[in-house]
Amino acid sequence: MNRLFPVAFGLLLLIAVTGCRTPYADTVTQVATIDALLAGVYDGTVPCRDLRRYGDFGIGTFDHLDGEMVMLDGRVYQVPSTGVVREVHGPLTTPFASVCPFLPTIELELATGTDFAAAQQAISDRLGNANGVYAIHLRGTFSRMKTRSVPAQTKPYRPLAEVAKEQSVFAMAEVTGDVVGFYLPPFVKGINVPGYHLHFLNADRTQGGHILDFAVKQAMVEIDPLDKLYLVLPEPPANVDLGKDRSQELHQVETSR
């Protein structure tokens, strides 16, 4: 027998064992922290294309806070405040994003007429554990979908709660598409958004944004339970108070409509 055979076989086995799962499986990787974003740290630090190292699914924003990010099937889409969606190719960076490899293991169907609040309740009831970390994907048709996006900012940057007052709101009707995001537990406070944080992208990839409300016509939910949180902190922001409790500001930003 060729003496190289055991070596080659061993190598193949190693590739098979390690290659079938990304090192970031079951991990939500995030760039920077929500409190830094709330404080107005909008300069991008990580190229969007580098997010693919950590997964194919996620949400975030862009350099200068230029719109809402949806990452789906490894493609990154930008929903700027003009509402004209574009797929991101070039060197665009992100100041804040959360991504994971999406490998769902839980599925449920939402009843017709279910609104955003009721959908969150139905998903939470199914999960039965408010302390878990979950990637959430809805695929379906919505009789109404209300989203927002934020306008690109120039320096000196103002806090997000102030900027969010200038958000664009988009109302869609009878729209088919994907809802992408996460449920994160209360203890991520300061680091990320506790609770549900979901973005939308329509099937044509022409409309979307940060979800404020919706009503389901027909939708399936896929859920990937995650058990690791990986923080990427490329450039710690200087001269920013990250000790302050910004929960009220976050609530205002997440829900203002």
Binding residues for Zn ion, rule: CB under 5 A, are 210
Say if residues 108 and 218 touch (Cβ distance below 8 Å).
no
Between 210 and 246, name the residue whose CB sits nearer to Zn ion: 210
Say if residues 55 and 230 touch (Cβ distance below 8 Å).
no
- Considering the complex, what minimum distance in angstroms separates the CB of residue 233 from Zn ion? 20
Between 62 and 142, name the residue whose CB sits nearer to Zn ion: 62
Q: Which backbone phi and psi does 105 adopt, to 5 degrees? A: -130, -5
Q: How far apart are CA 124 and CA 138, in angstroms?
A: 14
- Considering the complex, what minimum distance in angstroms separates the CB of residue 49 from Zn ion? 20
Between 5 and 255, name the residue whose CB sits nearer to Zn ion: 255
Between 181 and 237, name the residue whose CB sits nearer to Zn ion: 181
Nearest residue to Zn ion, using CB? 210
- Considering the complex, what minimum distance in angstroms separates the CB of residue 154 from Zn ion? 21
Lateral strand order in the sheet of 57-61: 86-87, 75-79, 68-72, 57-61, 97-100, 27-31, 228-232
- Considering the complex, what minimum distance in angstroms separates the CB of residue 172 from Zn ion? 16
Query: In angstroms, how far is CA 109 from the centroid of its own chain?
Result: 21
